[in-house]
Amino acid sequence: MSLDGAYDDQNIFARIVRGEAPAVKIYEDHAVLAFMDVFPQSRGHCLVVSKTSRARNLLDVEPEVLCKLMTDVQRVARAVVAALNPDGVVITQFNGSPAGQTVFHLHVHIIPRWIDQPLKGHGQGGIADVDALKVLAEQIAAKIS
Ligand code: 5GP
């Protein structure tokens, strides 16, 4: 999908937000949901999405929604660092399939990095063990302030 197009309310993140598809959740409030990426590029890779906006990408989103979303990206990223002690953290976000976007509901990736561990390719990490994701999500959630 290019930058232009209609929001598809059957996309997987919309279904997760509505509780129609499973996800290993880390943090949730009225506006934002953070959950583990099921094809993680590194240990602790997680995603933050808006629960209220029908934005497909950052170019679409209402500024006030973006402000809240990014505030919570910072909150979750700080918790990832506190819980997992990575050497660095990638915060990334793709707009349009030519840019690498595969799910067209605005989301931000939080990807912890360790200097001795190569990053897996985007969407090429293989499916994660759900029980292992639950352990990580609990560790991260415990550090959210
Ligand atoms: P994008 O390519 O759109 O930037 O990122 C989509 C992300 O969603 C990818 O990192 C992919 O691994 C992840 N993903 C795709 N399907 C699912 C799913 O059903 N559940 C979860 N938790 N993550 C998903």
Statement: residue 11 has pLDDT above 90: yes
CA distance linking residue 117 with residue 17, whole number of Å: 31
| Residues counted in the chain | 145
Q: Per the domain annotation, does 98 fall within a domain?
A: yes
Is residue 77 in some structural domain? yes
Q: What is the rounded distance in angstroms from the CA atom of residue 28 to the CA atom of residue 44?
A: 17
Q: In whole angstroms, what is the distance from residue 43 CA to residue 53 CA?
A: 28
Q: Which pLDDT score is estimated for 43?
A: 97
| Ligand 1 pocket: which of 47, 60, 106, 127 to mutate (most atoms within 8 A of CB) | 47
Nearest to 79 by CA among 121, 48, 40, 39: 48
In this model, does residue 48 exceed pLDDT 80?
A: yes
Q: Which residues are catalytic?
A: 107
Kindly tell me if the per-residue pLDDT of 124 is higher than 90.
Answer: no
Q: How many folded domains does the chain comprise?
A: 1
Rounded distance from Cα 123 to ligand 1 centre (Å): 7
**Domain for residue 38, yes or no?**
yes
Residue 125 is predicted with a pLDDT of 77
Give the pLDDT of residue 105: 98
- pLDDT (average), residues 47-56: 97
Mutation test residue for ligand 1: of 12, 97, 109, the one with most atoms within 8 Å of CB? 12
At residue 25, the pLDDT reads 98
Cα–Cα distance for residue pair 145/137, rounded to 1 Å: 14
* CB neighbours of residue 13 within 10 Å: 20
Q: At 49, which CATH number?
A: 3.30.428.10
What number is the average pLDDT over the span 2-17?
94
Q: Which domain holds residue 71?
A: 12-141
pLDDT tier for residue 96 given thresholds of 50, 70 and 90 = very high
